[in-house]
Each structure stands twice: as structure tokens, then as C-alpha cells.
Chain A
Amino acid sequence: MRPVVLVAVLAACTTEGAEAPPAAAARELRVPLDPPRLARRMSLDLRGVLPSVAELDAVEADPTALPALRDAWLEERAAEARMVQLLGERWRTLVDDVTLQVGEVGLTDADEYTYERSVGEEPLRVMARVVAEDRPWSDVVTGDTTMANETLAALWPIDRPAGDGWVESRYADGRPAVGVLATNGLWWRYTTNESNANRGRAAAISRLLLCEDYLERPITVRAADATVPFEDAIRTQPACVSCHSSLDPIAASLFGFWWFEEHQLDEMSWYHAEREPLGETLGVAPAWFGTPIPGLAGLGDAIAADPRFSRCAAETFAAGLWRRPVERADHQAISDFTEVLEAQDLRIKPLLAAITDDAEYQAGGLVDGADDETAARVATARLLGADQLASAVADLTGFVWEDGGTSLMHEDEVGFRLLAAGVDGRSVVNPPRRPGVTWALVVQRLAEAGAAYAVQRDLVDGQAILFTEVTLAEVPGDARFDAELDRLWWRTLATRPTEAEHAELAALWTAVAAAEGPEAAWTDVLTVLLRDPAFVSG
């Protein structure tokens, strides 16, 4: 593993005439976040919520307590939900359009969001459960179960045990045990047609599980003999063969998911084992990069045995937690993370621990004189995107922004996902990293709604979940008021307010209270905290 703290003293040891050490390469340029802010970043990234006051207190008192806290957070149910969103950014299945529209499956428009997300989340839930149960990552391509909620169980041939929400289930149509590769949700997102013949799906497998994207290879038909028919060209023309020689044998293994009709529920829901031989129409036998496989049943094992599979897992989770794409300069870091993963039986939790223990993840600033390339690459601060904003505000205030069953922070047709730096899985596939005007506006409205909800709940209805110190009777200068103000600041921002900051916020409270009373004053105080630059970044 790379040392978390690199040795900056080498330069000082250089003696005149001796060969200079590679100081620029060895010098640690990254400055870690303060422990409470680092705890906040980890908590948001791994479970989507802010640390509690007690957790912040613990890390402030003893920064070495953070790894144990982090490990505990990974055991929480919220961590599984967070993995769904994190993996969704890469797998691009959380889309607002499904080939088989809601009316075609016998549901109503009111069910549309639930239906579309149920379909899109299925493969993500399978993977998130593998992470949550600390099973080997290879289970995502070799497991014999899926995840299903009530919606999917009612539509698809699935044996689902009783229970609320997402439950580990099994397809009842005899499809092979290949984990996510056997999920309808994946292949309803990555559809195919007569001319494509599963090749797009094969390319998706390569991108998602090997981090090798066929579609990034520039192609040209300039060099091809244009008189050769299309189906012959991909087998004979060098410009075509370079991709199709490996792509088509993977595609040939996927014909159990071949549909003769795209808009029939049964046709698209059931696995068609009898259609597996249709792969022969591609003129090749199922194979994984030159090694024959017995169709889909052998695909998962072949992928799991491919050394690129574990490296891609490391890359996937590193990019997700760094909140940026992996670059060439990250090669060694990804290699190190891959080593950890492989040494830990492909379990993801140790990988997540290694990534979050690393200086790249923990960076909160750069030393003076850091080069531009490092400044551009290292995410010393990150924008809270749509999902993190939604889950953090929901946890803190109890407010969930839904309209007619649609989570407005997770949807684009009527919601605000793209406007709030989210990923739609179609035209926006990387989390936006810079604050835009629509993002700031969504933050504003979410903050206003969340603050109003929490004040009503806690100070008017008396539930005292977030506001635990005060009633509507206390005013600035009262010990309980001042303690509450400081506690809110600490909880939301993970920093301690200075005297000036405390006074400024108390002044805001006083001004509002004078005009509209304490309820409005607390609402506005919480609103501005939720819009604070230290809240909206991590």
C-alpha cells in the first residue's frame, strides 16, 4: 500500500553533489481535512447522512476513533441505500424511461416513479446487498438470487419471501445463477434489437465489470471495404474485427434475454432458455475473450476470474468516493486498492476502508506551491449532489421532498435531480463537480422546506428530534438558546462557530423573531445553515 503520509523530508536530506531524489513525486501535496469534517465527508459518502453530535464529539476528542466509527457506519442499513445510489451513477440504470412503459404493465401513471425505480434499482440492490453482507464481489456475477420489492414481485416471475420493501428473492424461470447478469433490471436498461444483436449489452458488461469501454475506441468505416455486407464486414474487415472478435462471443451468450416483441410484459420478463442457441446467428460460439464458455451460465465465472474484474471494482468504488473520474495519474492508487481487495477475498468493505483511509480521499487542501495538475485532480472539496442533499436533509429534518409518490430529488421529468447536480444515466453520466445556478436554487428551496418541516415537528408539535435544547420561549443570551445554536452549527457544518459567527446568526434570529416570532426565526436560522457553503460541500 502507499504510505498515507509521504515523506517530505527527503528534500532536506539532499546533499550537494548527490543525486537529487524525485522530490516532486515524493512530496505529499495533500493536506487532510480536520477530523470532524473528514467524519462528515465519510458519513455522507458511505451512508448519506451527517454524523450525529455524539459522533462528531467523539472524533473531535479522539481522531483515531474515526476508523471504528466508519466501520460501524458501513454496517448500517443507510449504507446499503447509499451504495445503490453510488453504484447507480456508474451503472446508469436509474433512468426515467423504461422500454416497457408503466401503462403496458398494468400500472397507473401514479405508479410510474416507483415502477421505473424498482426496475432500475434491481441490479444495484443486488450489488449493494453483496456489499452490505460483506460477501465477495464475485457474487455480483455468480450469485443465484436477486432483490425484489412488491412491485417487481407482482410483475416478474420471482419467488419473493414475505417482507416489506427489498427482499432477497429468486427468479422462478430457471435462469442461470449469474448475479446481476440475470436481472431483468439490467437488460431492460440495456436493450438490444435485431441489428445490434446483444452487442450493446456485451459492451455494457465490459464497461461496467471490466472498466473497458468498447465505445471509447474510435472507429472508422473509411478503411473498410464498403461493398462487403454489414454482417460479413464485422467478421472480415480488420477495422471491425478488432472489436467484434471479442464482443460478439459475449453477445452470443445473452440470447436467453432475447425478445421477439418489446412491448409485452411476459416476453420481456421471462428468461428464454430455448433461445440461447440463437447466439449462433452471430456466427460465433459463446466465449470470454478467447476462452469458450457454456453460454450465460459460464459467463459469471469467466468474468470473476478475469483479473480486470477486481481492478474495475477498485476503480468503481474509488471514483465513487473521490467524486471524480479515475485518471491515468491514479494508476498506482488503483493497483494498491486492487491488492487490498484481492487480499480480502474480494470483500468491498475493506476496500472502502482502504479508500477512505487514503490521503487522496482525505485531502482537504493542498500545500503551498502544489502544481496545477494536482490541484485540478485532487478533490479537496466536493459538491453535495442531489442524492446526498436529499438524504442528509431528510435525516436531519425529517423532510422528504415527494410529490405524488415521486422523489423530486431523484427524478428529472417533474423533479430536480439534474438541476441539483445529479446523474440521469443518459445524458449526464458523471456527477457534476461545479456549483451551478440551478443547483444553488434547489439547495435553497430544499433548505427552506426542510427547515420549516423540522421547526414545525420539533418546536410546534414538540417532538424535539433536531431541536433538543430550546422551546419557542428562549432568546439569545439564554444558555439553552446559545447551546442550541452552537449545537445546530456543529451538527450541520461539523465546525465550531466562532463568537462572531454565533453572534451573527443570533442577530439573524433576533431580526426575524422581532418581525414574525420565534418559529419563523428558527426556521430561517436552520435554512441558512442548510445553505451554508460548509453544508453544501464536503
Chain B
Amino acid sequence: MARRSASGVWVASRRELLALTGGALLAGRARAEGPAERQFLFLFCDGGWDPLCVFSPVFGADGVDMDPLATLAQAGGISFVDHPQRPAVRAFFERHADRTAVLNGFEVQSVAHERCQQLLFTGTAGAADDWGAILAGSSAVERLLPQVVVSGPAWSDQFGDKVVRVGTSGQLPSLLDGSALARGAHPITPRPADAAARMEAYVQARAAAAATRARPGWERVIHAGYRDALARGASLAAYGDLLSAASPDPFDLLGQLALALDCLELGLTRCASVRYLGVWGLGWDTHADNDEVQTMHFEELFGHLDELVGELDTRIGTDGLPLSQSVTVVVCSEMGRDPKLNEWDGRHHWTYTSAMLFGAGVAGGRVVGALDGAGRGQAVDPARGDVDAAGVALTSANLGATLLQLGGVDPEAWLPGVVPIDALQS
């Protein structure tokens, strides 16, 4: 197993992690019994990417301004927008189209960033768990970090206790090893192990008793949740070194991915999420100089995705198989961009966007959905994936239903009436 540092070197190995954690920690409940449970890695491109740069070729339409240097290309059944300044995009599809699916023309039903993010990941504007939280909360395997948020947004409601934020500057490991106590004007050293253990036993007994006594409703939710959180925290302490060694730089996508992969590989996590802010952290919100900036971002992103695929093939999960057979990768952004360029050669917000999936359970070499000549999403037959005027007008909820189904969760329980896109699934 390897980890990519901020300097660009994959530095650690699974063997090293086993040594760090004592190996035995991988045993027991973190190790899935029987068939592997599908895991998920969400890579969120913050700001609203432009599907017309890569995913949605709409050439020759008056209603859509395409980059004049862009051309239509195909690789392994996937049509995409090729560009001389985006060779990494072409290379990715040439190498990995057979395991990749593209979903085009689904609508997020807003044009405001924060709301679009919520709609993308939850399908609703109200209080809700995002797809990762639902999948983590529905896991058949007890995990210490059910949904690990390395960076980026996360929404939770019923499964808030399953969502674990690492922090942007090593906060979680500093809490685990007690180095957080050294900060500030009144630093103290952590209590000796025996004293800490004595306190822990006392508090855990109190929490267990409170959970037993608690009446139905929120009293029980909170006390049982505290009891469980204490137990997880105690178990997680053994991973302090691992998490500390991988403290991610928020602008270092590879470093963030490495931590996410570590957690997936060790079975600590069912879902991991990272945010990609683009080259130099510029973000994807290109109201000006759209093609230039999006090209930079896509080129770097797809280069990193290529490395990610290699890591997924190399790393072995707790079921003894490569992560590429258990992890579904979802690459997405909260909105698309206006098909017409504005006066600053930028593009305003647009409700239709795209997502790309690869890895476990994904029907490779497939494009589902398309934009029409005005940049609007076209209805599709969700079973076959073809554009079909009598089909379904896709929204982010359809993507969510698909992911839940991929994860073995009944979408109907969370998104009543929303059709999963079977065509995306192998």
C-alpha cells in the first residue's frame, strides 16, 4: 500500500500500516465476513464543472458554445470531448473506459452553489443524510470510520454519528494521541495510560448505564450514541499514528485520496469523501475564462484519477481482493455551466451536469444520458441508458438511487418513487 505525500511520492505501504497498527487491529469486526460489502469513494469538484469540456459532446448546435479546439473522440464505448491541452483526459479514457461510466444531463434543480451541493448529495433541500451517510449507516459491517470526510461537504441527519471528519489540519489524530492538550496557553500532558484507562472505564460504565436507563426517543438516541462513540474512540486510538501520518493538505488531492484509500483498504470506512478545488485551489466556478481554467483543472484531475485507478488495482482490501473490485468511485460536481459563453468567456451556472463513475459495480464503457442542442438534459430509459423522449428526466436523486442500489440499500426506502439507473450498473 502506498500513500502519496504532498511532495508527490507514494510513501507508505500496507505492510507499514499493519506494523503501525499492530496488524491485529484488522481482525474482528472491521473485517467483513463473506462477500465484500461495496465501498464508495466520492470525489467532489467544488464550484461547478463544465461538462461540455469533457463529458457532454454537443458539437454543431447553435445553442451550445464549444471550445473551437475541441473535437469529438471515442474510447472504449465512451464518447467524450477531446482537446489538445487535455491529453490526460484522453489517456484516462483510452486506458480505463472499460471500467468507466458517464452520466450526462441530470439536473440538480438549483443554480446556487450551497444548495446544489446539498441537492447533488441528498436529492433534497431539507434535512437529510447524503448518499455516503446512508450507505455508511446501512453498512452490515461495524466500522470505526463509517463515513470518513477527508475534506469537502457532508450532510447528515439520522446518520450523523456515522460521519467522521478528519479535520483540515490534523485535528482528529491530535485528539486521539492527546497532542491537542499541548496547544494553547495552558498546555498539559495527557494522563498516564493507567489513569486514562481508569477514567475511560468509569465513563464508559456511566454511559452504558445511561443508555440502558434511557427512555425511548432522543434520550435513548443520545445516550446510546455516546456509549457507542466512546467505544469507537477507544478503538480508533490505535490508528492515531496512521491518521497523523496522513494529515492531508486541503489543496493536495493525492494526499487526500491516499488517506481515503488507507481507510477503505483497512476496512475502517465504507464511504470516503474528498474535495478537489482544482489547480492552485482556484475552484471550478468559472464565470470568466471558462475553457482555459476548466482545461487546467480537468487535465490535472484526470491525471490524478489515472493514478487512483492504479492504486485501486494495487491495494488489497480486507476481503483479499483489489480495492477496484470493492470500491465504487464517484466523481462529481454540484452543477454544470451555461451552454453559452458570457461576455467574459466564462459560463454562468446551469442546472444540468454530469458525473463519472468507475470501479466496483459500474457498467464500463457506457454513457447514459445526453444534452440536447440547447444544453438541456434529455430523458433516458434508465434500464438501457438510451435517450428516450418517453423516459425519465434525470435528477441527482436518480444518481443517488443508483448509488444506494449499488450499495445494497433499497432506494425506495430513502427516495420513494425515484428510479435507479440500471444502465450504469454492471
Contacts and interface: CB of A to CB of B under 8 A. Distances in A.
A416 B374 CA distance: 46
A366 B165 contact: no
A401 B180 CA distance: 10
A399 B230 CA distance: 23
Interface string B44-71: 0000000000000000001100000000
B129 to A, nearest CB: 11
A325 interface: yes
Interface string A376-420: 101111110000000000000001011100001000111110110
Contacts of A370: 216-217
A381 B218 contact: yes
Interface residues of B, number: 89
Contact of A218 (B110, B155, B216): B110
Nearest to A442: B175
A449 B219 contact: no
A103 B333 CA distance: 30
A167 B321 CA distance: 64
A512 B198 contact: yes
Most chain B beta-carbon neighbours within 10 Å: one of A374, A376, A428: A428
Interface string B344-367: 100011111000000000000000
A537 B163 contact: no
A412 B352 contact: no
A203 B112 contact: yes
Interface string A466-510: 000000000000000000000000000000000000001100100
B315 interface: no
A432 interface: yes
B159 to A, nearest CB: 8
Interface stretch (A104-112, A127-135, A292-300, A520-528): A520-528
Interface string B145-168: 100000011111001111111011
A412 B168 contact: yes
A188 interface: no
Interface in B181-217: 181, 183-186, 188, 190-192, 194-195, 198-199, 202-203, 206-207, 210-211, 214-217
A497 B338 CA distance: 65
A106 to B, nearest CB: 23
Which of A430, A438, A532 has the largest number of chain B CB atoms within 10 A?
A438
B39 to A, nearest CB: 19
A453 B188 CA distance: 9
Contacts of A230: 338, 340, 342, 348
B112 A445 contact: no
A190 B195 CA distance: 49
A380 B188 contact: no
A375 interface: yes
Interface stretch (A43-51, A192-200, A252-260, A270-278): A192-200
A343 interface: no
B31 interface: no
Contacts of B161: 434-437
A419 B186 contact: no
Interface string A351-371: 000000000000011100010
Contacts of B153: 426-427
A414 B350 CA distance: 34
B376 interface: yes
Given A219-B351, A440-B229, A504-B202, A226 B125 contact: no
A415 B156 CA distance: 21
Given A203-B112, A383-B222, A444 B233 contact: yes
A441 B237 CA distance: 10
Contact of A527 (B180, B199, B349, B351): B199
B160 A434 contact: yes
Contact of A440 (B63, B114, B198, B233): B233
A503 to B, nearest CB: 12
A403 B287 contact: no
Contact of A449 (B181, B217, B233): B181
B38 interface: no
A424 B342 CA distance: 33
A326 to B, nearest CB: 11
A192 to B, nearest CB: 12
A433 B228 CA distance: 15
B232 interface: yes
B168 A413 contact: yes
Given A416-B175, A442-B175, A453 B186 contact: yes
Contacts of B114: 215, 426-427
A216 B107 contact: no
Contacts of A193: 287
B288 to A, nearest CB: 9
A435 B159 CA distance: 10
A439 interface: yes
B160 A427 contact: no
Contacts of B338: 230
Contacts of B339: 226
A533 B207 contact: yes
Interface residues of A, number: 82
Contacts of A418: 165, 167
A195 B113 CA distance: 14
Contacts of B206: 528, 532-533
A281 interface: no
Given A449-B181, A528-B199, A221 B351 contact: yes
Nearest to B224: A435
B382 interface: no
B202 A436 contact: no
A438 B223 contact: no
A511 B198 contact: yes
A24 interface: no
Contact of B63 (A213, A227, A520, A528): A227
A464 B251 CA distance: 48
Contacts of B207: 533
B236 interface: yes
B172 interface: yes
A415 B160 CA distance: 20
B218 A433 contact: yes
B112 A215 contact: yes
A441 B217 contact: no
Nearest to B158: A434
A531 B63 CA distance: 61
A87 B72 CA distance: 52
A510 B186 CA distance: 26
Contacts of A72: none
Interface string A199-234: 010010000000001011011111000110110000
Contacts of A203: 112
Nearest to A213: B125
A408 B186 CA distance: 13
A346 interface: no
A413 B162 CA distance: 22
Contacts of A376: 217
B244 interface: no
Contacts of B376: 221-222, 226
B77 interface: no
A441 B233 contact: yes
Contact of B175 (A375, A438, A523): A438
A435 B107 CA distance: 34
B195 A512 contact: yes
Contact of B225 (A200, A434, A444): A434
Given A380-B217, A414-B169, A427-B152, 10 more contacts: A200-B112, A230-B340, A370-B217, A408-B183, A435-B161, A435-B228, A437-B233, A448-B181, A532-B206, A537-B222
10 contacts: A221-B350, A401-B183, A416-B180, A427-B154, A433-B221, A435-B161, A435-B222, A445-B178, A445-B181, A448-B190
Interface of A: 193-195, 200, 203, 213, 215-216, 218-222, 226-227, 229-230, 325, 364-366, 370, 374-376, 378-383, 399, 401-403, 408, 412-416, 418-419, 426-428, 430, 432-442, 444-445, 448-449, 452-453, 504-505, 508, 511-512, 515-516, 520, 523-524, 527-528, 531-534, 536-537
